[in-house]
Structure 1
Amino acid sequence: MSLPVVIEQSPNPEHPDPAAARGPSIAALVRQIGPPRAGALLLVLGTVLAIVWANAAHDSYEAFWDTHLTIGVGGDLSLDVTLHALVNDALMAIFFFTVGLEVRREFAIGELTSWSRAVVPMVAALCGLAVPSLLYLLLASGSGWEHAWGVVISTDTAFLVSGLALVGPRAGGRLRVFLLALAVVDDIGALSIIALVYTADFDPLPLLVAAVGLAGIWCTRYVPTGRGPIYATLAIVVWLAFLASGVHPTLAGVAVALLVPVYRPSRRDVEHALALARTFRQSPSSQYARAAANSLRESISVNERLPSAYAPYVAFVILPVFALANAGVEVSPAVLAAAATSPVTWGVVVGLVVGKLVGVLGSTTLLRVMRLGELGPGLTTGRLAGGAALCGVGFTLSLFIVDLAIDDPAVQNEARVGVLLASVLAFALATVTFRAAEPRVPDHEPGSVLERPVDLERDHVYGPPDAPLTLVEYGDFQCGFCLKTAGTIQEVVDELGGRLRYVWRHAPLVRFHPNAVAAAEASEAAALQGRFFEFERALFADQEHQQPADILRRAEELGLDLEQFEKDLTSPAVAARVRDDMLDAEAMDITAVPTLFVNGVRHTGPHDARSLIEALERTAPADAAAAEPSPRLA
């Protein structure tokens, strides 16, 4: 589940925040510890409160969640539900809606658009579904509850993200992307199993109504204005139809989310929004304000707007309330004694802790040995093992499926004890694995050597491909220091000629240069037409003007195919190419640009031409002098 990124701002000592004098607010506390961790802590708090409540006053706990609510205006137009069902069927539909939005986004513009990039997390997720299920069936055989194997299939995405932030490696950006892609496929598998295996009393007729509602949701994208109320109304109709059909209504949230449009912002739409904003600044009025606000909003797809609106409620309200309603396990000596000898409990524990580790790590290792798929630098076996262990935290969906798969309260308690124990053990195992995988005394200082070797098919290389000397730069097109270094590097290229190959990689400092990522993506779009270095020089020539209109103007001046250029600007491949370089930079602790690597070693001295030439010559391979490079490339 994607969570919002928080950009910290330095406080102004001359104008202290009056709220700071009153003590830290809840919002400030959330910003300090981070939304993923705050959400996970609330989830844990809800679990603890549920256990304390269920053991201190079990009758009160059961009676409260069995409270009946009647929603409607008459006997035929009313819905009678318990509080427990309201949480599990209605509130969790919103949770699954946000999951569905992420699934749709990842397949449309995210990590799962490229087969080579998607195959490893996809296979790892499928094996992470199959192996735990088999282990559970093996241990629970003969208990009569073999059909509850779905309890061990899913990874809790919220805990996965927050756990990685708590105990993961220092620069774990690429591992986080890998695990999130895995979690998306894991969610698809788990939701499909809920629909196919744990649906009772199926009635197909209401699904015809749901189909009409879903078709209406798909067509709503063509409505010019006022789409929000239409989406909401049709979503409620679809949810009620799923409820009437016997299919678990939470799946309505996924079905609706998969039909919500998703796209990368069009440069022309962004430019139009900026023009309206300038018009409002010149002539402030409510009409121009609405037009500018609507244009800005419409430039971002509905799929990307909705998570920012729903994510806080899901993380800080829905999931903690779900834990409070479902984690009320009695931990009396009798329950613990029954759980200690229960094949269901141990099937859940072994399935989640061992099954996820073996399924995810084993399949990933096998694919790496077979050279299938793509794993970026920094995804070592130790880090993958830690991530695989963390996948054993199956809290939310595991508790959800317990209620669907098991109708005996005593066995439900045994399964919930297994889920809670497995989550604790998986988190502890991940912590130990990550600590063991990161040596206290590394072979070299992190980032002191180039993690990913130069790839002639992937990298932007200026000079002979087989030149004996290599200079790699991680830079930012809006950085003034990178502009100065560009002139220095040209001097080095002129001096060394065919003996040097120069490589550019992206490391945009998004906190300081808001247009840097857009400029990097534009250079990649130009590269697809064979004009990367020409576009690079054009960007450096006018760093102050890198708005969408400026980007398109430069492409036109260079004679690029504008229609194809604009299409490539919004392609997932271009965004992924820039993101890969940024993840490489994070893995090497690159926090300032330009950062140069001389023959694979990070350069720490002066950046003048003479110093760089001396460093290149000093660290040159032994056979560099005898090398005969091929003719220089322009």
Structure 2
Amino acid sequence: MSQEQSACGQGQDDEFARQTGHQLRRFIRTEAGSAGLLVVASLVALVWANSPWSESYVDLWHTTVEITVGSMGGLSMDLHHWVNDGLMVVFFFVIGLEVRREFSVGELTDRRRLVVPLVAGLGGMLVPALVYLALNSSGEAANGWGVVIGTDTAFLLGVLALVGPRVSTQLRIFLLTLTVIDDIVAVSVIGLVYSESIETVPLLVAAAGLVALVVLARVGEWRASPYVAVVVVMWIATLESGLHASIAGMLAGLLVPALNPTRSDVESAASSFRAFRQSPMPGVQRTARQSLTRAISVNERLQEALHGWTSYVVVPVFALANAGIDLRDGVLGEALRSPVTWGVTLGLVLGKLTGIGLGTFGSVRLRLGSLPQGVGQGHTLAGAALSGIGFTVSLLIVGLAFEDPDLQAQAAVGVLMSAVLASVVGWLVFALAARFFDQRDAALPRLLSDPVDPEVDHVRGPADAELTLVEYLDYECPFCAKATGAANEVRAHFGDRLRYVSRHLPLTVHVHADIAALAAEAAAEQGRFWEMHELLFAHQDELEVEDLAGYAADLGLDVEEFLRALDDERLAARVRRDLVSAEASGVRGTPTFFVGDQRHLGAHDARSLIEELERSARRTTGRFGA
């Protein structure tokens, strides 16, 4: 079983929150929430471009804006280029930040999770390109193959929320991983294939910027301003070099480090904050602010600052600037007869469905990887269909691939048609998967897979108690220590009405978690499990073998027998049993509680647990009578 680093300490109030880390939840919700604004901006652009005031639309985006610094010169572009070559760099920079975070501390830290979406993502780009080229094999039209390789994450997640399963957390994670791969390749194609002639000196300056970002990360620079300054220089240099600036944004984002908060940084921040409460002086306030800032990686702070702007400003403005296609004077009729339009439409709608579907099915059948728990082939096919919404990246490439305005219009019509058709096809596939294969919720299991067995489990309280609270825990997880304290309050509240069950889930990110779990089992062999349980949580920073031996001595255990038990395969199998049951029960982080046989989705404080247990008691009473 694999556990991501962000899992430790999750404690949210809904299914989505309990299955995903904070950053991933924020990313998905922001992207999904911006989809509606994106649609509105696109419709406004279309109506404006086809209205009596269409000239004002054209004139607006051809307005020249120049930024100069004294006699040093500056940048001069029309508004359309400022949007596509300027604002969109921020968009791709945020994507790069998210990709780096997912590889460093997120869903992709476990490389086994990467295989299926990687194969599916590559298939979802290769097959659409082949479909397009089958209809447009020569001339300038052939340059448009890149239009069909991209997927618009914002639109995809927004439509998924409308037409997908009621709970689709696992599918969302799978699709987000797939679009991460898609974005990397798409931006590389934009930068390398659709760029103009290359200027050497600016290109070297941009390369020096990449080196500077690596150096900043290596020396542990925690302030955001040096990274931002380097990215601005890289952007200007990339523009001057002839490469499309989007590649600078993506590469820069990939090089900004992402780290989970360390315990020492968090404790330092807490100490500084307490000092400020005691002495609210300017110097103490500055130190406290710096300590709080350093506890969060520069990658996540930049995402926090920029993500809302890109989702709610940059992408809608891009849609406003690029979706305004004048369909009058026979343009729409000509587009519907054009192989470019149909190449784009079939490439995105049919090509994405086929490529991603075959890539997923083939990699699973060849046992290269597996689908996320709770996700079926029907879900992935529907998600593959929705991946045919290529709006943002596709429209960007339309402007780069074609010089002929007629071809640009025809390709753009294909992009708009495919967004509608892909949404309809995705909805149909979801409906078919639910009806014929019972693939409804694409979520983790919520039922406790292995019922409590007093002969095997560690149980506090009467074995036949009315209420049951099961906790999956990690002895090195600081959140578990707090949750266990809450569990003690819960036990005190219910008394003999409750049995509390402790199960192991040592996370791979905690180096002493496994040996601590074995120590608890070794103490259990001598009848002192709960005493060792309390000691391990009381000394989370001291879990070396020597420390464990000392705790055994303090408890009056036979230390030699205790140490031998740490290497006992029978006890290791006991810990693995809990790991397997956690996996089958949909547990992905610690602490995770089950009230009865149902996974608890709320907070881990004593009050929340007591309320949920009382609700469970009322349901049981209502079911069987007073």
- TM-score bracket for this pair, using the shorter chain length: 0.7 to 0.9
Q: State the 1:247 CA deviation.
A: 0.4
1:114 paired residue among 110, 113, 117: 110
1:173-252 correspondence runs (5 A): 173-221=169-217, 227-252=223-248
Aligned-pair CA distance for 1:449: 8.0
Q: How does 1:314-329 map to 2 (within 5 A)?
A: 314-329=310-325
Equivalence for 1:263: 259
1:54 deviates by 0.7
Counterpart of 1:434 in structure 2 is 430
Question: What does residue 364 of structure 1 align with?
Answer: 360
Kept in 2, the 8 Å contact 1:475–1:595? The answer is no
Query: Which blocks of at least 5 consecutive residues in structure 1 are unaligned?
Result: 10-30, 455-460, 465-470, 493-501, 507-519, 562-576, 599-603, 612-634
For 1:552, the equivalent position in structure 2 comes to 541
How far apart are residue 356 of structure 1 and its match? 0.7
SS of aligned partner of 1:528: helix
CA shift for structure 1 position 438: 2.4
Post-superposition shift, 1:490?
A: 12
Task: State the 1:533 CA deviation.
Answer: 7.3
Alpha-carbon distance change, 161 to 236 in structure 1, aligned in 2, over 3 angstroms: same
Once residues 6 and 336 of structure 1 are traced to their aligned partners in structure 2, the CA distance between those partners, rounded to angstroms, is 52
Which of 42, 53, 61 pairs up with 2:48? Answer: 53
Give aligned-pair identity as a percent. 39
Q: How does 1:278-427 map to 2 (within 5 A)?
A: 278-332=274-328, 334-427=330-423
Which stretch of the first structure deviates more once superposed, 338-347 or 67-76? 67-76
Call closer, same or farther: CA 1:556–1:271 in 2, change over 3 Å: farther
Distance in 2 of aligned mates of 1:317 and 1:444: 34
User: Relative to 1, partners in 2 of residues 1:447 and 1:160: Cα closer, same or farther, differing over 3 Å?
Assistant: closer
**The 10-residue stretch of structure 1 (299-308 or 212-221) with the greater mean CA deviation from structure 2:** 212-221
Q: Does 1:38 align with 2:27?
A: no
Q: 2:518 matched to 1:529?
A: no
Seen in structure 2, the aligned counterparts of structure 1 residues 451 and 354 have a Cα distance that, compared at 3 Å, is farther
Which residue, 51, 56, 62 being the options, matches 2:58? 62
CA distance change for structure 1 residues 183 and 555 in 2, over 3 Å: closer, same or farther? farther
Partner of 2:476: none
CA 142–169 in structure 1, closer or farther in 2 if over 3 Å, else same? same
Task: Please state if 1:162 is matched with 2:158.
Answer: yes
Using the TM superposition, give the Cα deviation of residue 223 of structure 1 relative to its aligned residue in structure 2, in angstroms: 6.7
* CA distance in structure 2 between the aligned counterparts of 1:463 and 1:326, rounded to whole angstroms: 61
Q: Tell me by how many angstroms 1:411 deviates.
A: 1.1
Amino acid at match of 2:307: A
* Aligned 8 A contact 2:151 2:390 in 1: yes
Q: Which amino acid aligns with 2:520?
A: E
The counterpart of 1:72, out of the listed 68, 71, 74, is: 68
Map 1:121-132 → 2, pairs under 5 A: 121-132=117-128
Are residue 596 (structure 1) and residue 585 (structure 2) matched?
no
CA distance in 1, matches of 2:129, 2:432: 28
Give the Å deviation of 1:216: 2.3
Residue of structure 2 equivalent to 1:568: none
Cα distance change, pair 346–462 in 1 and its aligned pair in 2 (3 A): farther
How many Å separate the matches in 2 of 1:523 and 1:182?
25
Q: Which residue identity does 1:529 align to in structure 2?
A: I
- 1:14 maps to none
Residues 182-212 of structure 1 show CA distances to partners (whole Å, capped at 9, x for unaligned) of 1111111111111221111111221111122
Q: Per-residue deviation at 1:235?
A: 1.7
Query: How large is the RMSD of aligned CA atoms in angstroms?
Result: 4.4
Whether the 8 Å contact between 1:55 and 1:330 is mirrored in structure 2 is yes
CA distance in 1, matches of 2:470, 2:549: 26
Distance 2:46 2:133 in 1: 28
Instruction: Return closer, same or farther for 1:252/1:122 CA change in 2, 3 Å cut-off.
Output: same
Query: Aligned-pair distance for 1:343?
Result: 0.4
**C-alpha deviations, 1:2-39, integer Å up to 9, x for none?**
xxx99789xxxxxxxxxxxxxxxxxxxxx9x9644431
Provide, for residues 362-394 of structure 1, a one-character-per-residue CA deviation record: whole Å limited to 9, x for no partner: 111112222221323211111111111111111
Q: CA deviation at 1:350?
A: 0.5
Contact 2:222 2:294 in 1 (8 A): no
Q: CA deviation at 1:530?
A: 6.0
Structure 1 residue 262: deviation in Å?
1.5
Deviation at 1:256, TM superposition (A): 1.6
One-letter code aligned to 2:194:
Y
CA distance in structure 2 between the aligned counterparts of 1:528 and 1:414, rounded to whole angstroms: 60
Report SS of the residue matched to 2:540: helix
Match of 2:270 in 1: 274
SS at match of 1:71: strand
The alignment partner of 2:541 has SS state of helix
Contact 1:160 / 1:390 at 8 angstroms: preserved in 2?
Answer: yes
Query: Any conservation in 1 of the 2:184–2:250 contact (CA below 8 Å)?
Result: no
- Mean CA deviation greater in 393-402 or 273-282: 273-282
Gapped runs of 5+ residues in structure 2? 1-9, 15-25, 459-467, 474-479, 522-528, 551-577, 600-612, 621-626
The question of whether the paired residues in 1 share the 8 Å contact of 2:325 and 2:412 is answered with yes
> Is the 8 Å Cα contact of residues 449 and 584 (structure 2) preserved in structure 1?
no
For residues 583-617 of structure 1, the C-alpha deviation after alignment (integer angstroms, 9 at most, x for no partner) is: 96499xx997334389xxxxx99999xx9xxxxxx
Conserved 8 A contact 1:481-1:594 = no
Q: Which residue of 55, 60, 80 corresponds with 1:84?
A: 80
* Greater relative CO, 1 or 2 (CA 8 Å, sep 6+): 2
TM-score by length of 1: 0.72
The alpha-carbon distance between structure 1 residues 124 and 282, as it changes in their structure 2 partners (threshold 3 A), is same
User: CA shift at 1:443, angstroms?
Assistant: 10
The alpha-carbon distance between structure 1 residues 443 and 233, as it changes in their structure 2 partners (threshold 3 A), is closer
Query: What per-residue deviation string (whole Å, max 9, x for no partner) do you get for residues 258-312 of structure 1?
Result: 2212212111111111111122222222222221221111111111111111011
User: 3-state DSSP class of the match of 1:423?
Assistant: helix
Deviation at 1:110, TM superposition (A): 2.2
Letter in 1 for 2:159: G
Task: Decide whether the 8 Å contact of 2:390 with 2:419 is kept in 1.
Answer: yes
Q: Which deviations, in whole Å up to 9, do the C-alpha atoms of 1:482-515 show, x marking residues without a partner? A: 97499999989xxxxxxxxx99477xxxxxxxxx
Q: In the TM superposition, what whole-angstrom CA distance separates every residue of 1:416-449 from its partner, at most 9, and x where no partner exists?
A: 1100110111111112222232249969999998
The residue type equivalent to 2:517 in the other structure is: R
State the AA in 2 paired with 1:145.
A
CA distance in 2 between counterparts of 1:409 and 1:523 reads 54
Quote the Cα distance in structure 2 between the aligned partners of 1:168 and 1:446.
9
CA contact (8 A) 1:377 1:451 kept: no
Query: CA 1:538–1:337 in structure 2 vs 1: closer, same or farther (change >3 Å)?
Result: farther
Cα distance in 2 for partners of 1:130, 1:91 equals: 28
Letter in 2 for 1:323: A
Would you say 1:98 and 2:94 are equivalent positions?
Answer: yes
Classify 1:131/1:462 alpha carbon distance in 2 versus 1 (closer, same or farther; 3 Å).
farther
Checking the alignment, whether the CA contact within 8 Å between 1:474 and 1:596 is kept in structure 2 is: no
Count of residues in correspondence between the two structures: 522
What is the correspondence of 1:499-538 to structure 2 with a 5 Å cutoff?
Answer: 504=503, 521=507, 525-529=511-515, 531=517, 534=520
Q: Is the 8 A contact 1:131 1:356 kept in 2?
A: yes
Q: Does the CA-based 8 Å contact 1:475-1:594 persist in structure 2?
A: no
Counterpart contact for 2:149–2:348, Cα < 8 Å: yes
